[in-house]
Amino acid sequence: MQPTQDIALLLARFQFAFTVGVHIVFPAFSIGLAAYLAVLEGLWLKTGRTAYLDLYRYWIKIFSIVFGMGVVSGLVMSYEFGTNWSIFSRKAGPITGVLLSYEVMTAFFLEAGFLGVMLFGMNKVGRGLHYAATCCVSVGTLISMTWILASNSWMQTPQGYTIDPATGRFIPADWLAIIFNPSFPFRLVHMGLAAFLSVAFIVGATGAWHLLKARRAGTQASEPVRLMFSMAMWMAAFVAPLQVLAGDAHGLNTLKYQPVKIAAMEGDWESERRAPELLFGIPNMKTEHTDYAVKLPLVGSLILTHSLNGKVPGMKDFPRDQRPFSPVIFFSFRIMIALAMLMVVVGFWSLWLRRRGALFSSSVFHRVAVGMAPAGFIALLCGWITTEVGRQPWTVYGLLRTSDSVSPIALSNMALTMTVFVVVYVIVFGSGIGILCRLLTHAPVEGEHETSPSHAPDILATSTHPEVINSSPGKGA
């Protein structure tokens, strides 16, 4: 490729990475939060405890904003497939296009059909029907994740296809093999747990913030605040270790089907048995050596193969033009692992405090919980970077190169659109995140509205802001 084409390709990749990186946070937030809302409403219906309803009213406002930003940010990528990656769309479209259309026909229609009932119908339909609507929206987010990961996993571990010799297009031969490709089950579980864990730490951080705020004010935190913090810490304590196990299983699968990705993640250049684990280093793609390496003997083989004598691949086993850029995924992988270990520690720490009866009184732990608020989403983004950069230089692993997938777009056009995207995204989504943070600084109001035996208040017609409540014409309005 010519130098200008190389830069245009790099900008096309960066533009898609930027838009996906912004987008992926919101669906993950929606997946975890929708499930949390379904649990809250179900517990309220079962127990009649109003604190669950207070939390439902509080978090559904957050969900409505997050869901909207997820839809808007996702639309952009559909156009990018056509404008920036038209050759990929033409060749892989018979498979990836169909899988993404399934997502629209199942998940999107299900969510769209019941979202309005979930947001506005609590005093217009029966309790059972409203709960069914909440569950349908939650299931819809999970179905959406399933189809998107089926498509992306096929790009990582393609199977069930034939290639048209005349056009080079991937033609589906076995849809079950395409959907249930080798990496799909592992990535589905890993992503699902990541979404639940990310939301658990956001909910936990919000509860911890209000516990600290109440302590500074010399008052006791409300029951909904204590309840949300407790539920989040239970989630962290059990899901964080499960995520570590799921990540280990995913790593074994990647070692089998994408060994060069594992070598780049680990910074290993030579294939060897009884390999060390590199805690730190700077992989040098020119000298084919990891500089300033800090090693733990034998641990690399033990982690990657579950055997001290296991053989670990090296990047020199593969041609130079088939290696991913190791420095990026070497560090993104380690950031993800470090945050995962911190989340496990926080989860176990919460169990220890709970046993001592200090879960709601430990200000040190509450400050740590607040600081861990973005940990799940940062780990998720680092995991996504590791997965996608580790697939390079391919869009369809081993079959279609990224350089052969990009549209013939002028460098000036790519630079202009990249600049516009960054500016617009910072303004629009920066404002949206600012609104979310402002909402979260207000504590859920205990018993904001009385509920009749058969109906509950409109969710978005109420406010959790004390100043709004004090100026309302009446509590039952």
Q: What's the pLDDT score for residue 448?
A: 59
Residue with tokens 């600081």: 371
Res. 183 pLDDT band, cuts 50 70 90: very high
Residue 23: how many other CB atoms lie within 10 Å: 21
Q: What mean pLDDT do residues 130-141 have?
A: 92
Task: Give the tens place of pLDDT for each residue, 394-444.
Answer: 999 999 999 888 888 888 888 888 888 889 888 888 888 898 889 888 888
- Residues 238-260: tens digit of each pLDDT: 999 999 999 999 999 999 999 99
Please name which of 277, 292, 291, 315 lies closest in space to residue 392, comparing C-alpha atoms.
Answer: 315
Residues 259 and 313 sit within 8 Å (Cβ to Cβ)? yes
User: pLDDT (tens digit, 9 = 90+) per residue, 24-76?
Assistant: 999 999 999 999 999 999 999 999 889 999 999 999 999 989 988 888 888 88
- CA separation for the pair 62, 53 (Å, rounded): 15
Give how far the C-alpha of residue 146 lies from the chain's centroid of Cα atoms, to the nearest Å. 13
Instruction: Evaluate whether 112 touches 71 at the Cβ level (below 8 Å).
Output: no
Considering only CA atoms, which of 413, 386, 392, 421 is closest in space to residue 404? 392
**What integer pLDDT is reported at residue 119 of this predicted model?**
86
Provide the phi-psi class of 299: left if phi over 0, else alpha when psi is between -120 and 50, else beta.
alpha
- In the block, tokens 């692992």 appear at 337
Share of the chain above pLDDT 90, in %: 51
* pLDDT in the model for residue 2: 66
Q: CA nearest 122: which of 460, 448, 447?
A: 460
Question: In DSSP terms, which residues pair with 170 in a beta bridge?
Answer: 163
Q: What is the average pLDDT value for the chain, to the nearest integer? A: 87
User: What are 280's strand-pairing partners?
Assistant: 294
- Which sign, positive or negative, has the C-alpha torsion 240, 242, 246, 251? positive
Task: Name which residue leads in pLDDT, 447 or 157.
Answer: 157
